[in-house]
Amino acid sequence: MKIAVIVFPGSNCDRDLFNAVNDLGGVAEFVSHRATSLAGYSAVLIPGGFSYGDYLRAGAIARFAPVMTEVIRLAKAGYPVFGTCNGFQILTEAGLLPGALKQNLSQRFVCKTVALEVTNNRTPFTSHYQAHQRIDLPIAHADGCFFADQETLDRLEDNGQVAFRYAGENPNGSLNNIAGVTNAAGNVLGMMPHPERAVAAVLGNTNGQPLFESLFATLQEAH
Amino acid sequence: MKVRIFVTYKQSVFDPQGETIKDAIHTLGHEEVEAVTVGKFFDVTFADGASDVETSVKQIADQLLVNFNMETYDYQVMGD
């Protein structure tokens, strides 16, 4: 069960995702943005970074990369697709997730560890967390203010599509304190925090581990 | 033919840069300024004889330049 880590020009968290998966017992491989097939992969991870220099809007150009046609095909077919930080921005720009990520309310790049609530632990990525579990994860972004119109927000809340919420300070002005959302089907998750940076005890935080363990369990069940 | 496409946040979307710039303008002494909106513009030059430029402009804006979750746009035909 191979997991694809997509590498765009300007991705800079691809190796963190790759290491997180492989260190926790999964099998990840890097896949170029130029790839035209994702055959053989059971899940897709889209890393953080500054794909295409954040030109136009964060994530706006990445959606035109050849590999995205395949990412969209897999997402629509129900495969687990996950994006963190710039990956979240790319998934919203590609129309796979609702809403958009605006510039932080503070207009500053924010790099710190924040408190989160696992709002929905019934997704392919969060099943190994407890319901409403409080966790800490690092964030590092300038454009992380989740925005959607009221109708969309209401729909997300009603459908349980809010997977993670900021539980302490809201670091970027996100509406409803939203840190991560899924699509309506639940198989696509995007979040601004970086679980892949919190998987090693030696680095002082393992709160990201259950996300990858949830994904592995999902893939094993599907197998 | 050149077309200038303006992209801004929708009116309902808070524009933190605009607010900050407005505050700075007030500091300059121009208390009469009520609002500032920050946006961006794109000068798009079409080849001579290109047909149905306005339809192309709309497609380019709709499919690439504008994120309709938060933004809106306008455009102006600038001539040659």
Cβ(A63)–Cβ(A93) below 8 Å: yes
Give mean pLDDT, residues B40-50.
95
**Tokens read off for A82:** 């996950």
Are A105 and B16 a contacting pair at CB < 8 A? yes
Residue B51 per-residue DSSP state: S
Chain A residues near residue B69 by CB distance under 8 angstroms: 92, 98-100, 147-149, 152
Please, which residues have CB within 8 angstroms of residue A17's CB and are 6 or more apart in sequence?
A5, A28, A45, A47, A84, A196
Residue range A114-140, pLDDT digits in tens: 999 999 999 999 999 999 999 999 999
Note the pLDDT of residue B79.
76
Going from the N-terminus, what domains does chain A have, and what CATH number goes with each?
Answer: 2-222 (3.40.50.880)
> Which stretches of A60-203 are DSSP H helices?
66-76, 86-93, 150-158
Note the pLDDT of residue A222.
83
Catalytic (active site) residue A157: no
From A13, A33, A70, A85, active-site residue: A85
Instruction: Give chain B's domain count.
Output: 1
How far CA B5 is from CA of A55, B9, B48, B72, B78, in Å, comes to: 16, 14, 19, 10, 10
Residue A104 per-residue DSSP state: P
Give mean pLDDT, residues A51-74.
95
> What is the C-alpha to C-alpha distance for residues B16 and B8, in angstroms, rounded to an integer?
12
**Considering chain A, what is the average pLDDT of its residues?**
97
CATH code of the domain covering residue B42: 3.30.1280.10
**Vertex A99, ends A97 and A105: CA angle to 5°?**
135
Give mean pLDDT, residues A88-92.
98
Catalytic (active site) residue A85: yes
Residue range A15-25, pLDDT digits in tens: 999 999 999 99
Domain residues for B45?
2-79
Measured torsion, CA atoms of residues A198, A203, A205, A210, in degrees rounded to the nearest 10: 40
| Threshold 0.90, pTM exceeds | yes
